[in-house]
Amino acid sequence: MNFVDKVWKILVGIKDGLVLLFMLLFFIGLFALLSARPHPGTVREGALLLALEGVVVEEKSLLDPLETLLSGTAPVSEYRARDIIRALDAAATDSRIKVVVLDLSTFLGGGQVHLTEIGEAMDRVRKAKKPVLAFARGYADDHMLLAAHASEVWLDPQGLAIIAGPGGTNLYYAELLDKLSVKAHVYRVGTFKSAVEPWSRNGMSEEARANIGGVLGALWEEYQANLAKARPRLALGKVTGDVIGWIGAAGGDLADAALAAGLVDKLGDRIQFGERVAEIAGKPPGDETPGAFAASELDSYLADLGPPRGGKAIGVVTIAGEIVDGEAGPGIAGGKRIADLLDAALAQDLAALVVRVDSPGGSATAAEEIRRAIDRHRQRKIPVAVSFANLAASGGYWVAMASDRIFAQPATITGSIGVFAVVPTFEGSAARLGIRADGYRTTPLSGQPDIIGGFSPEMDAVLQGSISASYRDFITLVAQGRKLAPEKVEAIAEGRVWDGGAARQIGLVDAFGGLDDALAWAAAKAGLKEGEWHPVFLGAANEGYDSLIRKLLTRRGTGTPAAQAGAGGDIFALVAARNAALGARLVDDLERLTGTRGAQALCLECPALPAARQRKQDEPAGLLALLAALAGR
């Protein structure tokens, strides 16, 4: 009997081992398949198809293939702005490309700077005598920033096109916290640092309203000028100023109203649009599908182009998303991760360094860690330029202080030189539940911070002192980096937000321009002529499996709620998308209140970028984070 048991155990062990082996081989094979990059051979003569099924970003967030497949939900697709621009510029002179097609049916938006730069690249395609055609079932503000630059803008007859303009509402929780007997301790420096107002007020302060109103007003003027130049026949005043009259004149038909106002050029469904493209691009060989046309997709076309090469290397480090402590990212600016990338690049023979920023800021300690790493390159006597994208505020501005020149665009939002923190205590809530805190203390700081018993005046003084010290550091860095008197920096600081045009006037940035302008300036400063250098993007990861995973999950109907809502193309789909975003917004606000992350150089009042980011923080840092850790013991 013992012999039979032993044999049986051996057989079971062999079986389990074989199962594990086959599973391992399966996942290795699956990963290899998903890691395969698009093959350049798939590029065909015809159209360059830009089917933007998600958001335009500065840096793609990291996708874990196995975790995503097991979750069964595809994250929102992300497209780097620089990739789209590079493809458009190449298409302008590529004899294989007869027409550029933008499919914006499931486009979810992008920052104004990114979309403006893509629109300018579309103009360059048209100047090369190549048509650009756009199609969607619904156009909103971000869609129109792209579509306005197309030769022909098509709209599904059941769709709509509207322009709402920037702005909206914030949520304020002071009355709710009072009803719950929760005390929000607010520590800040800066009259205009309104990021703390949701916890201390029931509405926007007049200072915050005036500041953000000026910034959004400047962005709105820039937006209107862009559309007026691209589509002179567009009756923008009627579309935005007399919505009821505009729709009423079209008998309530939103598609006809869009056509009459010059928002779109033609009404037609996807089949009709495809047939129009096929007139220019040709039909794919052997494909008789209605509306089919010969086309190459973005990933395949970029693979065919290959990475830039030739000449000396100019390093480009990307700081995108909220700045946090630790290894987070890409897509989130983990301070340690970015500092490590920069330090590793010290061993490379870089002719210059360009820092690309698209961030609302975040952890002050992480921002300083990144700034110091940038400064180590500057100490090697190589040119260091900074290029601001849509947003470079608070900590996003902090990191730029170790540079020789700062470039921004008129629609860039920057400044917000201020620091804050919010820490809740629950002594009132505990008392209502019959919970009391008592004990023996040897000093006023004994047992502090005490989130149940409340903070002592001495603890409040320590916390406010920490915020004030971080603010003084910020002011000093800006004064030194911009060669301004501290008094002048104080006058334009206090958390005030600026648009790119105003920021240039007051000395916060040096010149207008995008990433290419910053690269060209850095190359010239390094003594390099055109063709003698190429950019190297530090930390760029292999993303070959990314698009395939997203397509697999999307085809199964398991895309994100935002993407699914955006695919509807009518006004009710927009409402659904807003409802889906509201829940995430409430959770995010709650997490910000309860999840102390240290002193924050963060612009929460700045308009949010469309990409949904999962904030990750690997290591607590700063005094407030240390106190939070102590309180949790």
For residue 138, the model assigns a pLDDT of 92
Give me Rg for the CA atoms of the chain.
27
Residue 392 near residue 361 (C-beta atoms within 8 A): no
Q: Which residues are catalytic?
A: 193, 394
Residue located via tokens 């820039």: 222
User: Rounded to 10 degrees, what is the CA torsion of 139, 143, 146, 151?
Assistant: -10
- The total number of residues shown for the chain amounts to 633
Cα separation, 311 vs 317, whole angstroms: 19
For residue 449, the model assigns a pLDDT of 85
For the chain of 633 residues, list the mean pLDDT of each consecutive stretch of 10. 63 69 60 51 87 92 67 76 96 96 94 96 97 95 96 95 88 89 84 78 88 92 95 92 92 94 96 96 88 92 88 94 89 93 93 96 93 95 96 94 96 91 86 86 85 86 88 92 92 91 95 96 94 90 56 50 47 60 68 70 74 41 44 43
Digit-coded pLDDT (tens) for 371-393: 999 999 999 999 999 999 999 99
Provide the β-strand partners of residue 314. Answer: 352, 535
CA-nearest of 407, 417, 380, 400 to 482 is: 400
Residue 406 near residue 426 (C-beta atoms within 8 A): no
For residue 621, the model assigns a pLDDT of 43
Query: Between β-strands 497-499 and 384-393, what pairing exists: parallel, antiparallel or unpaired?
Result: unpaired
Question: How many angstroms separate the first and last alpha carbons of the chain?
Answer: 55
For residue 631, the model assigns a pLDDT of 44
Q: How many CA atoms lie within 13 A of 171 on its CB side?
A: 12
Distances (CA, A) of 552 to 78, 415, 548: 15, 42, 6
Helix (DSSP H) and strand (DSSP E) numbers for the chain:
25, 22
CA-nearest of 110, 104, 146 to 273 is: 104
User: 266 CB contacts (<8 Å, ≥6 apart)?
Assistant: 152, 153, 154, 155, 259
3-state secondary structure of 274: helix
Provide the β-strand partners of residue 406. Answer: 386
CA-nearest of 279, 366, 350 to 315 is: 350
Domains (range + CATH), the chain:
42-167+226-305 (3.90.226.10)
CA-nearest of 50, 48, 108 to 76 is: 108
Digit-coded pLDDT (tens) for 439-476: 888 888 888 888 888 888 888 888 888 888 888 999 99
Helix locations, 356-514, DSSP H = 364-378, 395-398, 427-432, 457-482, 486-492, 500-505
For residue 187, the model assigns a pLDDT of 85
Q: Which helix (H) or strand (E) holds 511?
A: strand 511-512
